[in-house]
Structure 1
Amino acid sequence: MRDRDRTREVLLEVGRKVFLEKGYNAAGLEAVLRTAGVPKGSFYYYFGSKEEFGLAVVDSFVRDSSEQLEATLSERGLPPMVRLRRYFDASAERFEAGRCRSGCLIGKLSQEMAEQSEAFRTRLSEALDAWTDRLAACLREAQEGGELRADLDARALAELLADGWQGALLRAKTLQSPRPLRSFVDLMFGPILRPPD
């Protein structure tokens, strides 16, 4: 990787951490630049504005999250519902490993920025839709294999999973405990998404 590309990636990584901790509006560029060890003039070589930087941070987060999702959901040696549960279990473990503070950047910025910036609202909505589409594809695969009732709308179930997870994350951050995430996973993959009778 060239030095120029490496500097951009460092800025995006630091931006992700700062946005997760403080949110977009409270995140000063000075703090990002100081942490990244990048002079202010260099920042504008990579990004034309704070908003452009913020959207690039979202894109970077979505790319990395999508890779994690795909790596788990494409393990063909496991049944679809096992893969799906593993994905949510691993997400809960990452949250707990981060001392119950990190959460999901998409959820955090959706709460803060959806009403403030149409560019952010659109980008965040696209990210949530793509995530939900991938969950729905795995649920359809489970239906085809007889693991899940075929009369249920896979897309609606995927939305329930995605929306419920974001709510559980919010509650978990408030409690500083992974308990809401564990309860969500146990209920969803226990009595709610149980195999057909």
Structure 2
Amino acid sequence: MTQPDPSQLPDKKPLRGRPRAAPDASEARRKLIRAGLEHLTERGYSSVGVDQILMAARVPKGSFYHHFRNKADFGLVLVGAYDTYLTTLLDRAFLDEGRKPLDRLRVFTQNAEDGMARHGFRRGCLIGNLGQEMGALPDEFRDALTAVLQGWELRTARLFGMAQAQGQIATHHCPADLAETFWIGWEGAVLRAKLELRPDPLRRFATTFIQLIENKTSAMERISE
């Protein structure tokens, strides 16, 4: 997915079960976060050292430890920055009242594909990457990652609820279950796209998922428009 410019991201107030955001917003901190997001979305947490982040950010080691207690603290701040970025993308697509709900989902998946394409499909989702490494991460990451995914699922469940109210999704579906299933599948598709360096897994998952949940009448109406 597209990587955010952390200089444009406001710090979040700490929430229970969510990653801690450092209060300082200096240029050095922004550079460190930007470099961290670039490296961790491409290579992962375990394979990237602090020295590599410092070299990419071009800041002295003292700056790192001025803003972050250690690598784990830095990683949790990156989780918060990435969450801020992705929820902005979700809100931009999901709250577009000029489109029907499922079309908003299509916009999000296309935007995400475009973002990965800009980096040659070498960068994935930070949350998914860290989840793959959970066995090697401090335990506090588990609650932070879970909380982020639950936040994304909540926004998606609201969208599916709107789609259901408009007849795009059959009433027997549970929006919350659909949202959880979407994110389980989407994270897998992002991982596969990164592995194969191509967009096909993203497109196949998004198309198949929507076809499976979309009311046939609504689908025919969309095609005829």
Specify the TM-score bucket, using the shorter chain as the normaliser: over 0.9
Cα displacement (A) at 1:116: 3.1
Contact 2:153 2:180 in 1 (8 A): yes
The amino acid that maps onto 2:48 is A
Contact 2:96 2:104 in 1 (8 A): yes
For structure 2, which runs of at least 5 residues remain unmatched after alignment?
1-6, 8-23, 218-225
- Number of residue equivalences: 195
Contact 1:33 1:39 in 2 (8 A): yes
Contact 2:153 2:179 in 1 (8 A): yes
User: Are residue 145 (structure 1) and residue 134 (structure 2) matched?
Assistant: no
Q: Counterpart in 2 of 1:132?
A: 153
1:37–1:179 distance in 2 versus 1, CA, 3 Å = same
Contact 2:189 2:202 in 1 (8 A): yes
Cα displacement (A) at 1:71: 0.9
Q: Following the alignment from structure 1 to structure 2, what is the Cα–Cα distance between the partners of residues 114 and 157?
A: 27
Aligned residue among 55, 59, 67 for 1:46:
67
User: Are residue 84 (structure 1) and residue 72 (structure 2) matched?
Assistant: no
Cα displacement (A) at 1:176: 1.6
Give secondary structure in 2 for the equivalent of 1:76.
coil
Give secondary structure in 2 for the equivalent of 1:147.
coil
Aligned residue among 96, 115, 124 for 1:94:
115
* Runs of 4+ off more than 6 Å: none
Aligned residue among 33, 36, 49 for 1:28:
49
Aligned residue among 96, 105, 123 for 2:126:
105
Q: Counterpart in 2 of 1:193?
A: 213
User: Are residue 57 (structure 1) and residue 78 (structure 2) matched?
Assistant: yes
User: Are residue 18 (structure 1) and residue 39 (structure 2) matched?
Assistant: yes
| TM-score (structure 1 length as normaliser) | 0.93
Give secondary structure in 1 for the equivalent of 2:182.
helix
Cα displacement (A) at 1:79: 0.8
Q: Following the alignment from structure 2 to structure 1, what is the Cα–Cα distance between the partners of residues 188 and 25?
A: 38
Cα displacement (A) at 1:144: 0.8
Aligned residue among 61, 71, 90 for 1:69:
90
For structure 1, which runs of at least 5 residues remain unmatched after alignment?
none
Q: Counterpart in 1 of 2:223?
A: none
What is the CA deviation profile of residues 99-141 of structure 1, one whole-angstrom value per residue up to 9, with x for unaligned ones? 1111101000111125632111110110111001110000001
Give secondary structure in 2 for the equivalent of 1:48.
coil
Contact 2:154 2:176 in 1 (8 A): yes
Identity of aligned residues (%): 33
Return the structure number with greater helix share.
1
| TM-score (structure 2 length as normaliser) | 0.82
Contact 1:23 1:109 in 2 (8 A): yes
What is the CA deviation profile of residues 41-92 of structure 1, one whole-angstrom value per residue up to 9, with x for unaligned ones? 1111101111101100111011011111111111111111111111111111
1:157–1:27 distance in 2 versus 1, CA, 3 Å = same
1:108–1:4 distance in 2 versus 1, CA, 3 Å = closer
